[in-house]
A and B are shown apart, each in its own frame.
Chain A
Amino acid sequence: MTALSPQFLPEHGAAVPRSVLLPDGTPRPGVVPSLDDDQVVAALELMLLSRAFDEKAFSLQRQGRFGTFSPVHGQEASVVGSAFAVEPGHDWIVPQYRELPALLRHGLPLESFMQTFMGDPRGGAIPPGVNLLPIQIGLAAQLPQAVGLAWGRRLRGDDAVVLVYVGDGASSEGDFHEACNLAGVLRAPVVFLLQNNGWAISTPRSRQSAAATLAARAPGYGFPGVLVDGNDLLAVHAVVAEAVTRARAGDGPTLVESLTYRVGAHNTADDPSRYVPGDALREWQERDPLSRVRGYLRARGSWDDEREIHAAERIRARIDAAVRVVESTPPPGAPALFDHVSAQLSDRQRRQRADLLAQPETT
């Protein structure tokens, strides 16, 4: 036995995050973008939609027309860049709850997402062919499921990859460790996209782990961990695309730590001014992921004010149309309590259903 030579000292984790674009959108010399301009435009439009939806959801919530909602604000590059690295209809996305644009990209109707947050169980319906598991409120519970899904798809003989999202806070749960461990053992085709947005409600990243980076955990599970600038669309895309390629080739999982920041509130019920330091917030606001992509595309002649205005109009129309559809849908009735609970209701459940429907208030 040789003396133990620690390979992963905390300092080693303090690696420089991968980045492609400088904060003004200028590409670093020598890097070849992994998306062409049309794709970047599509990604930007999705980021703009996400930003606009955050605002709409907050205003609807304030008017009592929407439930508790967690905005994506500040994390759009992280979510969209990663979602663009997997193929809708073939690969799978397993969300936490703050990844709306990834769900849209993968084929979930905006209306469904809205219904869920308006308290309508029918929003949970995932259309056939849309490869998503439901959003996850029980933090980290999605991770073991994602590993099982990746394993199962391989057993079924396809080469689908599973992209699973998790927050820095949720990564402290036992389920995170257990899922990474199993994924390593099985060399499962899964990419763990850990969005480190600095906060879990009021709890800072520094209270979740003493490790210098969360990506540094990966070697302990026997697979690579990569740190990426989460406000850099092209960097996130490049890193996740590499991880997807590895996974598809049978080389196993990757943990990607996307360094970003929750610029807004945890959710519509939260007041971050009680705990988020103003300096950090301002610093991150200056690193806005949307501005960076705009700068990049403008310099290449693929974006301008006119396109921005048209995109904003289309987005507003799409969101308003979704609001109209959802708000004009008749509300679910009492029988919906029993819908999709099991393949077949028991006699007892059928009796409960009949009793409930016989109540004057439920008719």
Chain B
Amino acid sequence: MTSMTMLEAINATLRDEMARDDRVLLLGQDVAQLGGVFRATEGLLERFGPDRVVDMPLAEAVIVGAAIGLAAAGLVPVAEMQFLGFSHQAFHQIGAQLARMRYRSQGRFPMPVVLRAPFGGGVRTPELHSEALEAQFVQSPGLQVVMPATAADAKGLLQTAIRQPDPVLFCEPLRGYRLVRDEVPDGDAPVPFGTARVAREGDDVTIIAWSAAVHVARRAADRLAEENISAAVLDLRTLVPLDEAGILDAVAATGRAVVVHEAPFTGGFGAEVVATISDGAFYSLEAPVARVCPPDTPYPAGKIEDYYLPSVERVVAAARATVKAP
């Protein structure tokens, strides 16, 4: 085990995967010479050379489209969207092309492509840099959507993402890049997709979250413990594939659930989680499932960002209300 920030874990994993498999190459804006605007790819140009760490022209669609072609040619591209907010410029290549290429070619062209994309709020970015767009991608069957919350999972999930044959959108919470630090297993430790992680045990209520919201949920659980409410925290880790059994077991165990995310309420992935619970754990529920997430408004400017994002206080209040419900 080594203590690492999330950023260090991502950088080290990219390095190790490139050393392990010479088909792996990185492409994106400012990834080579600069090492990425967050330094996630720092040192990799020097180590692997300009054929494997490539600064691309400023166009997201050509980055994803070229990654599709590279994969068809037998390579394993790991492309960076400088910010998830700018993946819209490539959406037609992601949803309509990357996700469907295996299907369209009836298996001839699997797409071992990873799109890494920082996202998420709380750091007072300029416009369009913070949006949590994950729900927009889960409607692209064929694409897997991966949302690590810890440094260890960033490594384990990225190893899996690069090694398995299908396309992955790998969302990295930029607020956690340097703030999140934990013990990362050395060597090979791939984390299978579709396995939620119990981030905290608890008996009274299950808080379900992913990415940076997991840390909000954990702090809320600490707070709830002071009120003698024992909250479990379930970190979904991957939205597609979804660990249905993990969700249903965790909710059945407490009979109460709160879902927390950074994307707007309507059509947020929380709605999918609630529907999954309703389908599979309805008769274990003691109370309606609560959602703590931003309102249906555009991602706001920095001065009002804290009103928008799910806060520890709001998660505590929702969990408390859920537990007190008849």
Cβ contact within 8 Å between B304 and A359: no
Complex Cα distance, B266 from A336, in Å, reads: 19
Query: A119 near B89 (CB under 8 angstroms)?
Result: no
Provide the bound-state CA to CA distance between A121 and B302, in Å: 8
Interface status of B296 (Cβ within 8 A of chain A):
yes
Q: Chain A residues near B125 (CB, 8 Å)? A: 68
A112–B100 CA distance with the chains assembled, in angstroms: 45
Asked if A336 meets B34 with Cβ closer than 8 Å, knowing A119-B124, A208-B58, the reply is no
B192 at the interface (CB under 8 A from A): no
Note all chain B residues with C-beta closer than 8 A to A274.
Answer: 33-34
Whole-angstrom CA separation of A331 from B300 in the bound complex? 14
**How many of chain A's residues have a CB under 8 angstroms from any CB in B?**
45
What does the 1/0 interface line of B101-143 toward A look like (CB < 8 Å)?
0000000000000000000000011111100000000000000
Which of A67, A116, A207, A362 touches B307 (beta carbons < 8 Å)? A362
CB contacts under 8 Å to A, within B286-314, are: 295-298, 300-305, 307-308, 311, 313-314
Q: Judging by beta carbons under 8 Å apart, are B37 and A341 in contact?
A: no
Q: Mark B25-41, 1 if CB is under 8 A from A, else 0.
A: 00001100110010000
Contact between chains at B124 and A200 (CB < 8 Å): no
Q: If the complex has contacts A275-B34, A359-B317, are A116 and B301 also in contact, measured as CB distance less than 8 A? A: yes
Tell me which of B265, B297, B317 contacts A337 (CB under 8 A): B297
Q: Which residues of A contact B297 (CB under 8 A)?
A: 337-338, 341, 349
A359 — nearest CB in chain B belongs to which residue? B314
Indicate if the CB atoms of B300 and A201 lie closer than 8 Å.
no
Task: Tell me the complex Cα distance, A138–B317, Å.
Answer: 36
Any chain B CB within 8 A of the CB of A282? no
Count how many chain B residues have C-beta atoms less than 8 Å from C-beta atoms of the other chain.
41
Q: Is the CB of B59 within 8 A of A200?
A: no
Interface pair A169/B58, CB less than 8 Å apart: yes
Taking the nearest CB of chain A, how far is it from the CB of B317, in angstroms?
A: 7
Bound-complex Cα distance A169 to B58 (A): 5
B126 near A170 with CB under 8 A, answer no
Contacting residues of chain A (117-172) with chain B, CB-CB under 8 angstroms? 118-121, 123, 137-139, 169-170, 172
Residue of B nearest to A69 (CB): B126
Q: Give chain A nearest CB distance to B143 CB in angstroms.
A: 21
Q: At the interface, yes or no: A209 with Cβ under 8 Å from chain B?
A: yes
B187 at the interface (CB under 8 A from A): no
Residues of A within 8 A of B34 (CB): 201-202, 274-275
User: Is the beta-carbon distance between A203 and B314 smaller than 8 angstroms?
Assistant: no
Known: A275-B34, A348-B296, A349-B295. A209 touches B302 (CB 8 A): no
Distance from A351 Cβ to chain B, minimum over Cβ atoms (Å): 9
Which of B85, B125, B295, B302 is most buried by chain A, counting CB atoms within 10 A of its CB?
B295
- Which chain A residues lie closer than 8 Å to B301 at the CB level? 116, 119-121, 123, 332
Identify which of B58, B126, B127, B265 contacts A203 (C-beta below 8 A).
B58
| A173 on interface, CB distance cutoff 8 Å | yes
Contacts of A348 in B (CB 8 A): 265-266, 296
Contact with A334, one of B85, B124, B304 (Cβ below 8 angstroms): B304
Contact A352 B296 (CB under 8 A): yes
B224 close to chain A: CB less than 8 A: no
Could you tell me if A336 and B295 are in contact, using CB atoms closer than 8 angstroms? no
Tell whether, in the assembled complex, residue B300 and residue A173 are in contact, meaning their CB atoms are under 8 Å apart: no
**Interface status of A301 (Cβ within 8 A of chain B):** no
Residue among B89, B265, B304 making CB contact with A138, cutoff 8 Å: B89
Q: 9 smallest A-B Cβ distances: which pairs?
A: A119-B302, A202-B34, A352-B295, A172-B57, A169-B58, A334-B307, A119-B303, A121-B301, A172-B58
